[in-house]
Amino acid sequence: MTAMQCVLDAQAKLAECPRWDERTQTLYFVDIDSFQLHSYHLESKTQQTRTFNEEIGCFSLAENGGFIAAFRTGVYTFSDFNAPLTPYWLATYDQKTTRFNDGRCDAKGRFLAGTMYSPKDAFKGALHQFSQGKEKLIDQAAWTSNGLAFSPDSSIMYYSDTPNHIVYQFDYDIETGSASNKRVFIEFPRGNGRPDGAAVDAQGNYWTALYQGQRVAKISPAGEILEEFPVPAIYPTMVAFGGPNMDTLFVSTCRAAHSEEELKLYPQAGGIFALNTNTKGQQEPRFAG
């Protein structure tokens, strides 16, 4: 297994939500603090950037083309990369303190997205589910919603609260979209990285970016850390499997949190890194509507 390499020196303030499109062999990601959605075609090295009027926290590709995305003001769809936004659900929370952060679709094409509560003095971050034009509240007990992922058989949902260093598991009913039996999956010690965005591979292992921890951890379904992989940036934010064989792990990173001295050591912070792995990821589900 080779060392992690920078595949795109994006210089992003806060790159998040890397997402592989197997139909076009394109990697997408957002830069939350720059209000941007990016696409990057690995083979041709062509890049597109779209800038919005507010933070875009996460998105999923739609089954019939286009996107669904979660912003500060709510959830919107758009039919292609540059198409106008169509409101799907407008936020009912206080937009001054809360915005959407991490999310993805389940295997039935429901879009799940979680919010972060910036003051971090109450557990007001929530996980929402969107399907068939309706919104459902799944959980409300986090400061910063992150780490959403599903086991290969969809029976387990993972969800992390980054500032509290905890990843949770839920039992998930894929037929109804209901989550229950919340419990701690793994808790990381303070001072050595916090669990941020994640992905589950085809064997059911949970891969998490450890923000401020300079590494990615591979964790077994039983909650045992199997391997750790160093990242050439202090603040990795999320991981995604992709590439022609679905065995490349893409890692997004944050640049804005680094000091000037740290940037001298990690000049490609804010970039997208890639690691060739010995495992394959799951194909990302698409939004069904």
One pLDDT digit (tens) per residue for the chain, 289 residues: 568 999 999 999 999 999 999 999 999 999 999 999 999 999 999 999 999 999 999 999 999 999 999 999 999 999 999 999 999 999 999 999 999 999 999 999 999 999 999 988 888 899 999 999 999 999 998 899 999 999 999 999 999 999 999 999 999 999 999 999 999 999 999 999 999 999 999 999 999 999 999 999 999 999 999 999 999 999 999 999 999 999 999 999 999 999 999 999 999 999 999 999 999 999 999 999 9
pLDDT of residue 141: 86
H or E segment to which residue 263 belongs: helix 260-265
* pLDDT at position 122: 81
Q: Which of 119, 166, 152 has the alpha carbon at shortest distance from 282?
A: 152
Contacts of 88 (CB under 8 A, 6+ apart): 68, 74, 75, 76, 77, 130, 133
Distance CA 25, CA 10 (A): 18
Q: Is the CA virtual torsion 71, 72, 75, 80 positive or negative?
A: negative
Contacts of 224 (CB under 8 A, 6+ apart): none
Pairing outcome for strands 248-253 and 272-276:
antiparallel
Query: Does residue 2 contact residue 278 with C-beta atoms inside 8 Å?
Result: no
Residue with tokens 């780490």: 147
Strands 56-61 and 15-21: unpaired
Kind and range of the H or E element at 261?
A: helix 260-265
Q: Which amino acid is at 285?
A: P
Q: Specify the pLDDT at position 1.
A: 57
CATH C-level class of 5-276: mainly beta
The Cα–Cα gap between 154 and 169 comes to 12
pLDDT of residue 121: 81
SS3 33: helix
Residue 236: predicted pLDDT: 98
**What are the residue numbers of the active site?**
196
